[in-house]
Structure formats: structure tokens, C-alpha cells
């Protein structure tokens, strides 16, 4: 089995060692322009169009991350199967990140940090857990792990999905589709975006939607920067409708030095670090999926297979 590695900016040697140890019969080659069109599968992250133009015989491509929006913007052979990464250590990291941001808002840690700078010894108002809910947009592998962690701390959780989720934990309320969005937003004191980026979700976090959140709510975006209309968020914070935002993803990354998010006192910026790919876990999962494909397991039975029509 010949596997092509096309992850610009990523060192190939550690991936090569991991994959060839797990699958000795495989040979992993770093793709270079003009290389022979003899690859069976490919491991990619942000590959150029030239890679697919020169390797039309590929049976499958395995994305080294959960999000495939950048990949689907390319011209891909219609028969090419795309498999995305699931969890692989990212779920726990994402749950930690989101719970930290939710607790910071709910327990008023931002306020206490401000009071420390002012030398004030003053307890914040007692939090009312019964009237506070977290809204999670998206119930994929990562979203489900986040919901599970939030429920462990007894937060009431509302979820919003395109189609009804297969199952829900106790204490989790479901809202579905466009008809369910207003009620979902009205209950979300912390709104967590974990949606895949598709034409339908691009720009979804805008003035019209964010203004439906309860007054004093916060936004946590750990999905894609293009979900958010930046100026709408800033306006709603400055107007006092939203209290704050925790943002890990942006339209342009790295975030430009002159972007107002950097200096806004109620916007917290992190460098796309909410859930990083853990190479060993990822390599193990990718090899398992490649082995299934090589053994002629129907593609529809391989978890993580991307539906191009849905965009994830």
C-alpha cells in the first residue's frame, strides 16, 4: 500500500514512523510536484490543488483533522472518498476548553480578576445554576464529548442540530433546524459553536442570531472563524447585550496584529489551540480506517466518511 503525505508545513518524519510501525506493509512518501501517480491513499492537511490534479487515481484521502471545509473547496475527483479524523484525543481537550470558558462566565471569574487588579475584596453575586443554560451548536464527536463534560458539572444543556440527534443525555434538551433555532438561542447563556463550516452555517453567528441570546450571554467559538460576523459580535458587546466572547478560530489565521479582537477587554483570543491533533492517536485511527478500506470494507461502513453534499 502506497500512502502519500501532503501536509504542507508539517514535519513528515514523525508521521512516517507512527504509520509504518502500525502498518508495516505500508509505504509513506512525502508528495512532491511531478511525482508518479501511483498513490493508493493520501494523508493530507491543507493540500494544494496540484496534489489532486496529479494523483487522479487515489482511492481515498484521509484528512488529519475533523474539519474538511478547506478540502472541499478544491476540485476533487467525483469518485474520491474523503474520511475525516474523529476525536483522536481532541474531544477531551475541547471539553476542557469549553468548560473552562463556561465556568469563567458562570462563576464570574472575569469580574473577580478585574476586582483583584483594583484591589477590591468583594464577592460576586451568587450564581443561579437553575436559571443558567449552555447552548451547544453541533453534536458530532466533539460536540457530544463537550455536552457530556458540561453535564458532569450539572449544567443544563441545550443542543441545536440540523437533524434530530440519535440520543441525548439526561438534562439535555434538543432543538432542530431553522424552526428550533430561536428557542435554542433564547436559552443559551453561554453559546458554544461546534458546527462544521458549510454554505448554510457560514456567517450564522451574526447580529440577527446573537441578539436573540439572553442579555449578558457569552459566545464561545471553537469551530471556524467564518461562522462569525466579527463586527456584529463587537457591536453587541459594546452595546451591552453580550458580555464577552472566547474565540479560538478566526477568518484569517494567525489573527492580524491590527484586528480589534486583540485589544478588546471582553474578548479572549486563543491561537486555534482548543483541541490539537494528537499524532499518535490520530495515526492509530487513520491506519485503522485505511486498513478497512484496503480490506474492501464498504466505504459507507468506515466511520468519518464525509458526505460532500452536507459538507461534513
| CATH number where 176 lies | 3.40.50.720
Q: Are 146 and 98 in contact (CB under 8 A)?
A: yes
Residues 241 and 220 reside in one and the same domain: yes
Q: Is residue 312 part of a domain?
A: no
Q: Are 248 and 274 in contact (CB under 8 A)?
A: yes
Give residue 161's pLDDT: 96
In the predicted model, what is the mean pLDDT of the chain? 96
Tens digits of residue pLDDT in 113-163? 999 999 999 999 999 999 999 999 999 999 999 999 999 999 999 999 999
The residue from 162, 207, 272, 284 that is catalytic is: 272
The residue from 84, 224, 227, 279 that is catalytic is: 224
The helix/strand/coil state of 36 is coil
| pTM, full prediction | 0.92
Q: Is residue 42 part of a domain?
A: yes
Tens digits of residue pLDDT in 87-120? 888 999 999 999 999 999 999 999 999 999 999 9
Known catalytic membership, residue 272: yes
Residues 23 and 124 reside in one and the same domain: no
The proportion of the chain whose per-residue pLDDT surpasses 70, expressed as a percent, equals: 100
Q: What is the number of domains present in the chain?
A: 2
User: How many helices (H) and strands (E) would you count in the chain?
Assistant: 10, 12
Domain extent, residue 106, equals 90-269
Known catalytic membership, residue 2: no
Tens digits of residue pLDDT in 243-273? 999 999 999 999 999 999 999 999 999 999 9
Tens digits of residue pLDDT in 4-32? 999 999 999 999 999 999 999 999 999 99
Q: Is residue 14 part of a domain?
A: yes
Tens digits of residue pLDDT in 159-216? 999 999 888 888 899 999 999 999 999 999 999 999 999 999 999 999 999 999 999 9
Give residue 168's pLDDT: 85
Residues 224 and 103 reside in one and the same domain: yes
Task: Determine how many CB atoms are found less than 10 A away from the CB of residue 122.
Answer: 8
Amino acid at each position: 500500500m502506497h500512502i502519500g503525505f501532503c501536509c504542507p508545513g508539517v514535519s513528515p518524519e514523525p508521521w512516517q514512523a507512527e504509520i509504518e510501525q502500525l502498518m508495516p506493509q505500508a509505504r509513506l512518501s512525502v508528495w512532491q510536484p511531478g511525482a508518479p501517480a501511483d498513490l493508493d491513499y493520501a494523508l493530507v492537511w491543507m493540500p494544494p490543488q496540484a496534489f489532486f490534479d496529479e494523483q487522479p487515481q487515489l482511492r481515498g484521502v484521509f484528512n488529519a483533522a475533523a474539519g474538511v471545509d478547506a478540502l472541499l473547496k478544491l476540485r476533487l475527483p467525483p469518485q474520491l472518498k474523503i474520511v475525516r479524523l474523529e476525536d483522536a484525543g481532541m474531544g477531551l481537550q475541547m471539553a476542557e476548553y469549553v468548560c473552562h470558558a463556561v465556568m469563567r462566565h458562570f462563576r464570574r471569574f472575569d469580574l473577580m480578576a478585574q476586582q483583584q487588579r483594583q484591589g477590591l475584596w468583594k464577592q460576586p453575586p451568587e450564581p443561579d445554576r437553575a436559571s443558567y443554560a449552555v447552548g451547544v451548536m453541533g453534536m458530532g464527536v466533539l460536540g457530544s464529548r463537550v455536552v457530556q463534560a458540561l453535564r458532569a458539572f450539572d449544567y443544563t444543556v441545550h443542543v441545536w442540530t440540523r437533524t434530530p440527534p440519535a440520543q441525548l443525555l439526561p438534562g439535555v434538551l434538543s432543538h432542530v433546524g431553522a424552526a428550533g433555532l430561536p428557542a435554542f438561542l433564547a436559552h443559551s447563556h453561554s453559546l458554544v459553536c461546534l458546527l462544521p463550516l458549510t454554505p448554510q452555517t457560514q456567517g450564522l453567528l451574526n447580529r440577527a442570531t446573537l441578539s436573540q441570546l439572553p442579555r449578558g450571554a457569552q459566545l464561545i467559538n471553537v469551530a471556524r472563524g467564518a461562522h462569525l460576523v466579527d463586527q456584529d459580535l463587537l457591536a453587541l458587546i459594546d452595546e451591552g447585550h453580550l458580555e464577552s466572547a472566547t474565540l479560538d478560530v478566526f477568518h484569517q489565521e494567525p489573527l492580524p496584529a491590527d484586528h480589534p479582537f486583540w485589544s478588546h477587554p471582553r474578548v479572549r483570543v486563543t491561537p486555534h489551540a482548543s483541541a490539537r491533533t494528537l499524532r499518535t492517536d490520530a495515526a492509530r485511527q487513520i491506519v485503522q480506517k485505511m486498513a478497512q478500506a484496503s480490506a474492501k470494507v464498504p466505504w459507507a461502513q468506515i466511520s468519518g466518511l464525509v458526505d460532500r453534499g452536507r459538507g461534513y
